[in-house]
């Protein structure tokens, strides 16, 4: 018998075989121990009330001391986008995180919090009315704005004289319905399978670009049919005969051109209570004309921002460059001035839904993203327009 063998009963086994058998036995015993522990844990879980389960789940320490609460959502979202695997999302929902990974009846999922914030940040920095309007988050299908645009009557009274009854204020209700905004980016499955591909950044960028362009146009020129109603689609009248329900305009008295006097006129056509928060809105072509204007002393009315990120100013008021505003032309309403925080309201649901479709465009995977948003004028006295033409 060689030195590499030993005798056990009538059989001879090598030391390697003996180690293998020992390891196999250990693994078997460990699995039995593990199964026993899991059984006891399951029995304990079944005895817990729903409140206890949620409390203990929220108190579970992160593995390895990690504190990144978004990591499970990010991994589950990536798995869903890349492969359509929704197990992670369903698991997160069962752990009380349905607010960020809820499942609807059509198989769509709320985008994970990190991606949703990325899209919102891109939308908020896009040159659109969103940057200066009032934006509210709602859970309903519409948002009502109540506007009291008349004052309660008042008068002077003597000590013994009678007091006349005050006039009743008039309150208007403006309803801003929410409409569905959608985008349909696609990518090949091979690209999604690439582990080095940042799926979240790509998806957020594509969706944000499409949403931002659609929103910016609708807030200015939307007709209100299955989209927000833009402020330029409301009826306009000369500001001298302005009435509620219309937007007042000031003519430049020169067809297709703007003058420094007209800029001054439109500023002071707006009520003093709105001017303090006033902003100009125009596109780049109009801005090219306006920044050449000078006052009677030869000073430019236009001044660039003093620091990076600050808007340019016209007569001291900030200028928003919105490319969806009309180009300068005869009788065009190419410049708006007003307090858009009071004058225009954007209502939206905070959730962004993603539906993965790997079948309709093989070998590409489609991502159907939807968001509900609405917008409309909420105070017709807060916005004035400059008409590039005669009265």
Residue 352 pLDDT: 83
Q: What is the number of alpha carbons within 13 Å of residue 185 lying toward its C-beta?
A: 20
Beta bridge partners of 237: 248
Domains of the chain: 234-345+378-388 (3.30.2320)
Q: Give the whole-angstrom CA distance, residue 22 versus residue 197.
A: 45
Query: Which tens digit of pLDDT belongs to each residue from 237-281?
Result: 999 999 999 999 999 999 999 999 999 999 999 999 999 999 999
Provide DSSP, 174-200: EEEE-EEEEE--EEEHHHHH-TTS-HH
Q: Give the whole-angstrom CA distance, residue 87 versus residue 93.
A: 10
Residue 378 pLDDT: 93
For residue 111, is it left (φ>0), alpha (ψ between -120 and 50) or beta? beta
Residue 93 pLDDT: 44
Q: How far is Cα of residue 136 from the mean position of the Cα atoms in its chain?
A: 10
User: For each successive 10 residues of the chain (391 residues), what is the average pLDDT?
Assistant: 48 67 70 74 62 47 43 66 62 37 46 72 77 91 80 62 62 87 85 71 82 92 93 95 93 92 95 94 94 88 82 92 94 96 92 84 86 93 94 71
356 sits in which H/E element: strand 353-357
Q: 368 exposed, middle or buried (CB, 10 Å; 0-12, 13-18, 19+)?
A: middle
In the chain, what is the straight-line distance between the N-terminal and C-terminal CA atoms, in Å?
117
Beta bridge partners of 311: none
Q: Give the whole-angstrom CA distance, residue 155 versus residue 15.
A: 110
- Cβ(54)–Cβ(93) under 8 Å? no
What is each CA distance from 118 to 131, 205, 207, 370, 373, in whole angstroms? 16, 8, 10, 15, 17
Residue 191 pLDDT: 78
CA triple 151-152-155, angle to 5 deg: 110
All residues at 6 or more sequence positions from 319 whose CB lies less than 8 Å from its CB, including other chains: 279, 280, 281, 282, 287, 302, 311, 312, 313
Residue 4 pLDDT: 46
All residues at 6 or more sequence positions from 290 whose CB lies less than 8 Å from its CB, including other chains: 258, 263, 282, 301, 302, 314, 335
Provide DSSP, 289-301: HHTT-B-TTS-BS
């Amino acid at each position: 018998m060689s030195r590499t063998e030993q005798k056990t009963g009538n059989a001879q086994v090598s030391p390697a075989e003996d180690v293998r058998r020992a390891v196999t036995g250990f693994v078997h015993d460990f699995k039995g121990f593990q199964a026993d522990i899991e059984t006891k844990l399951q029995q304990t879980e079944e005895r817990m009330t729903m409140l206890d389960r949620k409390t203990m789940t929220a108190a579970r320490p992160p593995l390895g001391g990690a504190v990144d609460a978004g990591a499970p959502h990010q991994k589950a979202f990536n798995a869903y986008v890349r492969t359509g695997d929704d197990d992670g999302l369903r698991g997160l929902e069962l752990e009380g995180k349905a607010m960020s990974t809820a499942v609807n009846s059509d198989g769509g999922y709320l985008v994970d919090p990190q991606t949703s914030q990325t899209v919102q940040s891109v939308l908020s920095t896009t040159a659109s009315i969103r940057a200066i309007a009032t934006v509210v988050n709602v859970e309903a299908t519409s948002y009502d704005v109540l506007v009291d645009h008349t004052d309660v009557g008042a008068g002077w009274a003597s000590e013994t004289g009678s007091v006349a009854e005050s006039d009743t204020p008039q309150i208007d209700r403006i309803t801003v319905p929410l409409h569905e905004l959608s985008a349909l980016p696609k990518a090949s499955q091979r690209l999604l399978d690439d582990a080095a591909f940042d799926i979240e950044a790509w998806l957020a960028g594509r969706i944000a670009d499409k949403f931002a362009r659609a929103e910016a146009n609708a807030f200015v020129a939307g007709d209100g049919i299955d989209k927000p109603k833009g402020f330029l689609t409301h009826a306009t009248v000369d500001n001298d005969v302005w009435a509620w329900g219309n937007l007042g305009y000031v003519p430049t008295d020169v067809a297709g051109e703007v003058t420094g006097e007209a800029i001054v006129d439109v500023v002071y056509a707006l009520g003093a209570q709105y001017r303090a928060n006033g902003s100009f809105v125009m596109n780049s072509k109009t801005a090219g004309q306006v920044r050449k204007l000078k006052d009677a002393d030869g000073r430019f009315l236009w001044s660039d921002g003093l620091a990076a990120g600050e808007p340019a100013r016209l007569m001291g008021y900030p200028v928003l460059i919105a490319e969806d505003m009309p180009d300068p032309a005869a009788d065009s309403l190419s410049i708006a001035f007003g307090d858009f925080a009071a004058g225009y309201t954007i209502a939206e649901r905070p959730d962004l839904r993603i539906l993965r479709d790997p079948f309709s465009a093989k070998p590409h995977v489609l991502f159907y993203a939807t968001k509900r948003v609405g917008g409309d004028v909420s105070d017709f006295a807060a916005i004035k327009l400059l008409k590039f033409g005669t009265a």
